[in-house]
Amino acid sequence: MPETLLFRRPIRFLQFTAGSATGFTGNVGVEAYDYLGNLVDSNNLLTQSVLQSTFVVGHGIAKVEITTTAESVVIDDVQFTEEAPCAHDICGNASMSCRFPVACDPTGPRSNTMCPCGTFNCTAILPLTSM
C-alpha cells in the first residue's frame, strides 16, 4: 500500500470490501480524484477481521488512491460504474486522446464551463486542432 487505480474512462462510483486479520486492524483511506487532480470524494474505514464495504461516489472520477495504516489488509469485490459519456463532448464521448473531462463547449478549446449535459465541469486538455 498505497494502491492507485487509474480509469481510462471516468467513473461515478467505486465500492470494495476491506478487512484485516485479527491484531492487524487499522484505517483504510480512499480518495477519488478527477483528471485535473481535484478531490471528488473520500472515505475511511477501520478494518476488522470481517470484510466491510466502503465506497466513493462523484462525477468524473479518474483516479482512486487507497492507503492503510494496518500492517496487512485484504481488498476484495471491487466494483465500479462508468460515467455516462457527455453527448456534447467535442472529442467523441470521452475519448482517451482528450484525457476526459474535455471542453464540452465548442466555442473554445480552453473553456472551463459546465458541460451542456450538466454532469461535468469540463476543461480542455488538448487544443482543438490536435484532435
pLDDT in tens, 37-64: 889 999 999 999 899 999 999 988 889 9
Give the pLDDT of residue 22: 84
Per-residue pLDDT at 1 exceeds 70: no
- The pTM (predicted TM-score) of the whole model is 0.66
Question: For residues 64 and 74, what is the distance between their CA atoms, to the nearest angstrom?
Answer: 17
For domain 3-82, say whether CATH 2.60.40.2380 is its number.
no
Give the percent of the chain with pLDDT over 90. 40
Q: Indicate where the chain has its CATH 2.60.120.260 domain(s).
A: 3-82
pLDDT in tens, 72-102: 899 999 999 988 765 444 444 444 334 444 4
Q: Mean pLDDT in the chain?
A: 74
Per-residue pLDDT at 122 exceeds 90: no
Residue keyed to cell 471528488: 40
Give the pLDDT of residue 83: 81
Give the pLDDT of residue 17: 94
Residues 6+ apart with CB under 8 A from 32: 14, 39, 40, 41, 42, 56, 58, 61, 63, 64
Residue 128: helix, strand or coil by DSSP? helix
